[in-house]
Amino acid sequence: MEQFAQWLQATQLSVAIQSTTWLIPLLQSIHIVMIGVVFVAVLLLVLRVLGVARTDEPPSVVWAHFAPWIKRGVTVLALTGLVLIISEPVREFTALSFWLKMLLLALGIASIAALGSALRRDGAASRPLAVFTLLLWLAVIFLGRAIAYDVEVWGALSFKA
């Protein structure tokens, strides 16, 4: 994987992204804002399931309100994330935090889909599923930040150690 990452980092596209000094900070900022958008939407869905917020609305209405934010947020996350990976593939692919984030991101999206399915039917979504979804997204946020400090976070478990 490291060989592929080194090849990708040497491509014209990667070099162009790296040499445009304002592009990476802009993409990182958009990426962080979108993770916030998705997280807040998930948080409000979870709070609805737990009976803490928006209890005056049926679950399907709450889902209908926040689903577009989640879908657009995840789409922008994927696009900005892809460009960020292309810009620094060696850093990303050699970080345990990156691979864990990708795994939990896939689980987080699947968990949102399951939660949404229950809410669309106005059924009672399970509280454990709601809490699990929230915890997954908290872990995704933590791991995204941990990529920059992979060795410090994971020590000997880090691929870079």
pLDDT in tens, the chain (161 residues): 888 999 999 999 999 999 999 999 999 999 999 999 999 999 999 999 999 998 899 999 999 999 999 999 999 999 999 999 999 999 999 999 999 999 999 999 999 999 999 998 876 778 999 999 999 999 999 999 999 999 999 998 888 76
- Can you give the chain as a three-state secondary structure string? CHHHHHHHHCCHHHHHHHHCCCHHHHHHHHHHHHHHHHHHHHHHHHHHHCCCCCCCCCHHHHHHHHHHHHHHHHHHHHHHHHHHHHHCHHHHHCCHHHHHHHHHHHHHHHHHHHHHHHHHCCCCCCHHHHHHHHHHHHHHHHHHHHHHHHHHHHHHHCCCC
